[in-house]
Amino acid sequence: MTYGFETLAIHAGQDPEARTGSVVPPIYQTSTYAQDGVGRPREGYEYSRSGNPTRDALQEALRALEGGRRGLAFASGLAAEDTLLRTVCQPGDHVVIPDDAYGGTFRLFAKVAERWGLTWTAASIHHLDTMRNAIRPGQTKVIWVETPSNPLLGVNDIAATAALAHDAGALLVVDNTFASPYLQQPLGLGADVVVHSTTKYLGGHSDVVGGALIVSDDELGERLAYHQNAMGSVNGPFDAWLTMRGIRTLGVRMDRHCDNAERVVDYLRHHKAVSEVLYPGLPTHPGHETAAKQMKRFGGMVSFRAAGGEEAAVRICESTELFILAESLGGVESLIEHPGRMTHASAAGSPLEVPADLVRLSVGIETGDDLLADLERALG
């Protein structure tokens, strides 16, 4: 049978527990397991780095929601990214990365993977020719995109980029954190790997850190699972359980995030203190048509540029009350931040440096009128 998204979010990997009938999957808070004999682990479980029933349940839920062949859960989004790179690349290989990406991802490439011998080129995700020109034939193993991107809300045509990557003999990796699988499913558009910081919309409550990889190929899934165990960057059972708890309400939360974000965008684009609003749902956004084609809705992330420059942007960030000044995103509460001085400070002086007058909002699920009033006070 083919189930709807919300049904999968509640049931995939989360069958009632067999022994007691517990509707909620239990937390197997254990490091090791009794074996039925030497070399005969019960149901394959021997050590929780290698396998844990709670993490397995989360991994099945992730696989189902993204429509993949295998899902793997990690201690953080960056742990997932690092494991992926060291699985599919080796020293001397090359990766095309976005010129608009999460600062932590840039730091991983520029300060960690580069020392390991992996080279990279930053290119605009908006233009196929720009990405094509960045490819090094025979050396480029991965094209990496975020869509929508962090923090400029850029949009990439996933299907077209997948064709470009495959023609070059490379994998297409899509960071789907901003959209969540409720709004966008890159594997169905031709991507090879989906990356998530499950800390964000999948967890949804700002109380757990995690990451995920979902793949469309069984062989690649096996290789990643081997490295997941060998490198050991797994999440614990309680973190896995918290993430599953969040996934169950992902659909209804995302609808409310989108509703509130659309109201915030409509308010900001008419305010004299704002010089530009960045949101894929605006018809004037350069990626609007692509986003409308490959996304269900346009998400809960909004960025804007302050008309008064950097100091005005900082003042706005420090003047809200309901919008909490904090890093991260995707929780039920609204957050505000200054990317240039916070999440993307590591990209200063690089091709990924963000505008100094930029403000990023993670629009939560509070009462919409209250969020608009809070922005009115801060902008005024």
User: Which residues does the annotation mark as catalytic?
Assistant: 49, 102, 175, 200
Burial state string for 141-171 with b = 16 or more CB within 10 A and e = fewer than 16: bbbbbbbbbbbbbbbbbbbebbebbeebebb
CA separation for the pair 120, 324 (Å, rounded): 35
> Which helix (H) or strand (E) covers residue 255, if one does?
helix 250-268
Contact 223, 246 (CB under 8 A): no
Residue 319 corresponds to which amino acid? Answer: S
CA separation for the pair 299, 297 (Å, rounded): 6
Based on its alpha-carbon atoms, the radius of gyration of the chain, rounded to whole angstroms, reads 21
CA separation for the pair 230, 362 (Å, rounded): 35
Identify the burial level of 31 via C-beta atoms within 10 angstroms of its C-beta, where 0-12 means exposed, 13-18 middle and 19 or more buried.
Answer: exposed
- Phi, psi of 101, rounded to the nearest 5 degrees: -150, 165
